[in-house]
Amino acid sequence: MKPLLDKITYFLRKSLSARLGLWIALFAALIFVAALGFMFAESRQAVRSEAISHATQTLESTVLRVTNILDEVMVATDNTDWLIPRHLDAPDSMFVYSRRILANNPDLNGCSISFEPYYFRDKGRWFSAYSLNENGGIQTTQEGNDEYEYFYMDWYQQAKLLDGPCWTEPYNDFNPKGIFSSDVIASYCKPIRDKEDNYIGTISVDLSLSWLSETISAVKPYPNSYSIMIGEGGTYFVHPDTTKLFYQTIFTETLEHPDPDRTALGHAMQRGEEGMKQLVVNGESCYVFYKPLSTTGWSVAIVCPERDIFAGFNRLRSSVLAIVLVGLLLMLLVFRRIVSRELVPLQQLAGQAKTIASGDFETQLPDDGRIDEIGQLSHSFSEMQSSLVNYVEELKTTTAMKASFENELKVASDIQMGMVPRIFPAFPKRKDIDLYASMTPAKEVGGDLYDFFVQQEKLYFCVGDVSGKGIPASLFMAVTRNMFRIIAQQGHTPAEVAKQINDFITQDNEQNMFVTMFIGCIDLQTGHMDFCNCGHNPPLLDGQFYPLKYTNQPLGLWECDQFSGESIDDVRGRQILVYTDGLNEAENRQMEILGNDRLLELMVGAETLNAEDVIHKLQKAVEKHRDGASPNDDLTLLCVRVITPSEN
């Protein structure tokens, strides 16, 4: 299932025409659903109203017919019962009256005129004049005896207790042998009163309800509808399922399977209400129309399956829905085809754009003269193609220029590196000087510098760091280095060298560049060292920071009358390390600097190493500390030791 769904999703994502077609079909379906839903609801309501009207009329006419006959029974009884109180002195006349009622009303089954126990003393406990219409003749007998104590029977008691005329619940007649007949009997009963208005007995007229059952059963407003009749106790007296007659009430099924709708219907019918209820009967939704039968307490109902009532409506609805469904599918296909056709130029454009993207800028874009959105898109693409061609040309030029510039920069780097002595050992003929230096620019060219030379048994050396980086700094470095060599070769002290360099580079220093610098001069004979520190890092002497007395200003900032120099009496055998801040301020990826403490740790035991090894050790430490991070500053190191003859 999921792979199929994925395929459909992929197809829809890929095909704009399918997507558009689907959206349009969905929107159309929405409109159809709303319109048809409203139409169906209204139509259904109309059909329902018509069904209610139809069923109600059918029910009313049926009830009217039945009621008319029941009324005749009541009238027949009323026409005779007034005679009874007038002839209480002649009990046997009651046989005549019960017989007369049947004679005058051949449709009646029986009639009894029954009295309270011992009402007629000479007649004993029981006196019930009973006439039975049987086989075309009327049989009249005294009905009561010790096996049939009629005053305990419903038909007798109800009239007495309700103190008025009433109908009994229909019952199934049976003969003395206990064999049940299919005939349904009901009795209309009235109390008999004497002249003092005291209750003395009950007159009861029996009516066969076979015709009633047939009349009600015949009511069939719809092919599968049927009618039922229940008594006041809910018992079925008319029902298409004859096994339920007398044996079940409308509530029986609810005893084991509660059904509030059926219970509500039963109660409404018992209360003698008239109306309609919708409920499920035998698993099928039905409309039940019910109406009471006169004053009997009985109720008649027509059960109409919903499928019958709405059969025509359902057929129409199915047809319309099928047509709409097919129409929507056709619409989907047609729209998809139309949109596909309209999108052909767009597909061509997409293909050609792909060709352009692959580098073929000369591809000719289609121009079919369209002025719609697709035409505009094609035009915009054409302009973009033209712009792209220009841009690529410019890019080529720029790339060539960049290559040239990088080449020049490489040359500049070589020149800069050529300015500082790079051949070691620096003084191969001298055994008393162990000196090593290195300069590593952060970019192609840097702003650091170092230099050294020996003149008249004096070793001049310097290390400097120009503010900023790159080409400006490298040019400033070149100037400074040249100034150092020119001035120092004149035999000046480091402080004087510093002053003269400062004086020179301060002039016309519009860029406000400056350089920190350490300048030293060691008398190789005596080991005496003069030096001047111009805003530069303090040097390390034998692995410890040398405590400077003066830290002069960097060179180039402003004019200065005098730079203060310092001296150390004898540095022979002692290791001097001069460096730029590219060493102790080298940063790793986390922007953490190497630090002075780490530098001191690195220098522990370094006094036994020669100058080159010290420089290499420090370079490796810096590289390790950076851990792959790009250099944040130029790194320049210079290590020197004057070796005494005894060391040699």
Partner 1 sequence: MNHASKLILSIAGLVAGFCAGAQERFIFTPQWTPQAQFTGYYVAQEMGFYHDAGLDVDIVHPTASQSALSRIFKNESQATTLQLCQALEVVGSDVPLVNILQTSMNNSMVIVSRRGVDPLTQKGARVGCWAAGFGQLAFCLSDREHLDYDWIPASTPVNLFVKGAIDAALAMSYNEFYQLVQSGMEFDDTSVYRFCDHEYNVQEDGVYMRYDYYINHKEEAQKFAEASRRGWEWAAEHPEEALDIVMKYVRMHHIITNRSMQKLMLAEVLRLQLNRETGEREFRLRPDMVKLASDLMVENGMLLAPVSYEELIAR
Least Cβ distance, residue 39 to partner 1 (angstroms): 41
Contact flag: residue 187 with partner 1 (CB under 8 A): no
Say how far apart CA 621 and CA 624 lie, in whole Å. 5
CB-count burial class (<10 Å; 0-12, 13-18, 19+) for 527: middle
Say how far apart CA 226 and CA 220 lie, in whole Å. 6
Determine which residue in the list 227, 270, 474, 516 makes contact with partner 1, applying CB under 8 A: 270
By beta-carbon proximity to partner 1, the closer residue of 142 and 215 is 142
What single-letter amino acid sits at 244? Answer: K
By beta-carbon proximity to partner 1, the closer residue of 141 and 347 is 141
Contact flag: residue 201 with partner 1 (CB under 8 A): no
The candidate with the shortest Cα–Cα distance to 240, out of 259, 207, 216, 221, is 216
Task: Assess contact for 469 and 442: CB atoms under 8 A.
Answer: yes
The structure tokens 């009295």 sit at: 115
Contact flag: residue 232 with partner 1 (CB under 8 A): yes
Mask for 119-148, x = binds partner 1 (CB under 8 A): ----------------------------xx
The candidate with the shortest Cα–Cα distance to 348, out of 334, 362, 333, 368, is 368
Least Cβ distance, residue 203 to partner 1 (angstroms): 17
Least Cβ distance, residue 219 to partner 1 (angstroms): 23
3-state secondary structure of 19: helix
Say how far apart CA 545 and CA 598 lie, in whole Å. 13
Say how far apart CA 27 and CA 453 lie, in whole Å. 92
Contact flag: residue 228 with partner 1 (CB under 8 A): no
Q: Mark the segment that binds partner 1 (CB under 8 A) among 114-122, 152-160, 306-314, 383-391.
A: 152-160
Determine which residue in the list 11, 38, 247, 550 makes contact with partner 1, applying CB under 8 A: 247
Mask for 283-322, x = binds partner 1 (CB under 8 A): --------------x-------------------------
DSSP secondary-structure letter at 335? H
By beta-carbon proximity to partner 1, the closer residue of 93 and 172 is 172
By beta-carbon proximity to partner 1, the closer residue of 291 and 481 is 291
Range list of β-strands (E), 384-508: 433-440, 448-455, 458-466
What single-letter amino acid sits at 535? Answer: G
Q: Mark the segment that binds partner 1 (CB under 8 A) among 184-192, 227-235, 402-410, 476-484.
A: 227-235
Host H or E run for residue 414:
helix 373-419
- For 411, residues 6+ apart whose C-beta sits below 8 A from its C-beta are none
Contact flag: residue 241 with partner 1 (CB under 8 A): no
Contact flag: residue 619 with partner 1 (CB under 8 A): no
Contact flag: residue 198 with partner 1 (CB under 8 A): no
Determine which residue in the list 227, 249, 502, 575 makes contact with partner 1, applying CB under 8 A: 249
Determine which residue in the list 162, 326, 400, 411 makes contact with partner 1, applying CB under 8 A: 162
Range list of β-strands (E), 467-617: 515-523, 529-534, 540-541, 544-545, 566-568, 575-579
The candidate with the shortest Cα–Cα distance to 227, out of 288, 171, 310, is 288
Determine which residue in the list 92, 149, 406, 627 makes contact with partner 1, applying CB under 8 A: 149
Residues between 540 and 599 with contacts to partner 1, criterion CB under 8 A: none
The candidate with the shortest Cα–Cα distance to 530, out of 487, 496, 498, 493, is 493
By beta-carbon proximity to partner 1, the closer residue of 162 and 486 is 162
Could you list the residues that contact partner 1 (CB under 8 A)?
A: 147-149, 152-154, 157-158, 161-162, 166, 168-169, 172, 174, 178, 180, 232-235, 246-253, 255-256, 263, 266-267, 270, 297
